[in-house]
């Protein structure tokens, strides 16, 4: 029990959000009389929040580098409007429109990343200007009108399902995806644990490790079964799986991911360590632009229209999801999976409160309190951790070393060297 208690204490933020998500699901399952976990509602939950989940992944990267992006909602609206014009008025094929939209998102991200990384204008100012700029361009492109309908082949992206080649009573392909995801999870966790042991890094107790993996495997397969007995996994759900796995791999297993954490933990120390901090920041904003464009396509496909008001408040939902999922306002801390958990917390609350008939006014107030509680929890954890370090005489190392999630799920500190002036002191 002591080992398990220590494990939860060292990872209080990560497990705290997971436990909060479970409690919220149980609470609304009870309040809605069992409607929340109905297969149809779970499928709707994925589709309704897919664009926020996509934005939350990109926003987490931006916040890890110590910046913020207030323009994502306007970029969603602008890319969606331009894509609708290309398809509905110019008659371009769907595949060409999708490629052009993603390229447009990359250019928008490069535009904002240039001002932030190379001209050194605060991201808050640059993206605030971007929010106004792209909202205005959206109104110009649409001329204040709604463009609809869109081609049926494009609408599959937002409301279609992955076809099942087996044709059985349940969606067998979805069950196989669940089993494959479970096998991949077990293999990666075992590899990470073995690698940590080889390098002498701390690992969680054997029983706690086995219990955590078993719980995750059960959740994955139950979730896959619930989807399989309806229509299977949605197309946008498959896109989300690819994004989550891909970005988790980049952030945890590649040099690029470590550079992002290093820039957010201490840009000066990262620069002196040989990290190209300006390029790293620039490409993070380019990635955010591409993901915003993808979110715009998904939102437009689900709505089957491009409207001048699309994307309003999306930036606040994405920022809230990132902070609820474990990001730190000072940068250097956060995980892709955490951002997904944060977005799911927001999505389940929205869905649950709508099912019980709670008004929009109370929904906004409750979400605000949840966001405040998450950030307060983060501040409390850091203060508590700082006190423990000070008592051990190690408080001086806290600012130069960014924290990263280790492969076993525990939060550790990177080995970024201190700045020369710090070393001289």
pLDDT at residue 124 is higher than 80? yes
Q: Are 21 and 344 in contact (CB under 8 A)?
A: yes
Could you give the 3-state DSSP secondary structure of residue 221? helix
Domain ranges of the chain: 39-160+234-384, 164-230
**Rounded mean pLDDT, 87-104:** 94
Q: Are 268 and 52 in contact (CB under 8 A)?
A: no
Q: Which one has a higher pLDDT value, 402 or 295?
A: 295
At 9-28, the pLDDT tens digits run 556 656 677 778 888 888 88
The percentage of residues in the chain with a pLDDT greater than 90, rounded to a whole number, is 39
Residue 202 φ then ψ, to 5°: -65, 140
Which residue has tokens 């042991």?
197
pLDDT at residue 260 is higher than 90? yes
At 225-252, the pLDDT tens digits run 888 888 888 999 999 989 998 998 899 8
Length of the chain (residues): 425
pLDDT at residue 279 is higher than 70? yes
Instruction: Answer yes or no: CATH 3.40.50 is held by domain 39-160+234-384.
Output: no
Q: Are 298 and 51 in contact (CB under 8 A)?
A: yes
At 408-424, the pLDDT tens digits run 443 443 434 444 334 33
Taking phi first (over 0 means left), then psi (-120 to 50 degrees means alpha), and beta for anything else, what does residue 332 get? left
Q: How far is CA 90 from the centre of its chain?
A: 34
pTM above threshold 0.75:
yes
């Amino acid at each position: 029990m002591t080992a398990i208690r220590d494990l939860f204490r060292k990872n209080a933020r990560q497990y705290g959000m997971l436990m909060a998500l479970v409690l919220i699901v149980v609470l609304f399952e009870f309040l809605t009389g069992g409607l929340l976990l109905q297969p149809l509602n779970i499928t709707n939950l994925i589709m309704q929040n897919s664009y926020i989940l996509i934005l939350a992944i990109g926003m987490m990267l931006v916040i890890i580098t110590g910046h913020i992006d207030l323009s994502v909602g306007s970029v969603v609206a602008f890319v969606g409007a331009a894509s609708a014009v290309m398809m509905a008025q110019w008659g371009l094929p769907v595949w060409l429109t999708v490629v052009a939209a993603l390229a447009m998102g990359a250019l928008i991200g490069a535009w904002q990343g240039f001002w932030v990384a190379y001209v050194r204008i605060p991201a808050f100012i640059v993206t605030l200007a971007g929010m106004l700029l792209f909202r205005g361009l959206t109104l110009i492109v649409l001329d204040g009108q709604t463009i609809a309908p869109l081609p049926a082949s494009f609408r599959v992206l937002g409301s279609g399902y992955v076809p099942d080649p087996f044709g059985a009573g349940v969606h067998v392909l979805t069950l196989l995806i669940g089993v494959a995801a479970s096998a991949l999870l077990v293999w990666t966790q075992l590899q990470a644990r073995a690698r940590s042991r080889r390098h002498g890094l701390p690992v969680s107790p054997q029983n706690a490790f086995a219990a955590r993996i078993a719980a995750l495997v059960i959740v994955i397969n139950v979730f896959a079964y619930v989807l399989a007995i309806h229509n299977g996994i949605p197309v946008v759900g498959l896109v989300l799986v690819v994004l989550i796995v891909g970005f988790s791999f980049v952030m945890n297993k590649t040099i690029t991911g470590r550079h992002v954490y290093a820039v957010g933990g201490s840009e000066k120390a990262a620069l002196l360590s040989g990290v190209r901090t300006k390029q790293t920041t620039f490409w993070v904003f380019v990635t955010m632009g591409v993901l915003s464009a993808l979110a715009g396509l998904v939102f437009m496909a689900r709505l089957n229209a491009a409207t001048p008001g699309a994307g309003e408040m999306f930036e606040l939902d994405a920022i809230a999801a990132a902070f609820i999922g474990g990001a730190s306002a000072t940068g250097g801390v956060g995980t892709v999976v955490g951002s997904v958990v944060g977005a799911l917390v927001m999505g389940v609350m929205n869905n649950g409160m709508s099912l019980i008939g709670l008004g929009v006014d109370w929904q906004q107030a409750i979400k605000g309190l949840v966001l405040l509680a998450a950030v307060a929890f983060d501040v409390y954890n850091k203060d508590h951790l700082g006190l423990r370090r000070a008592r051990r005489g190690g408080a001086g190392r806290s600012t130069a070393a960014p924290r990263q999630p280790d492969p076993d799920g525990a939060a550790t500190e990177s080995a970024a060297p201190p700045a020369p002036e710090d070393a001289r002191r």
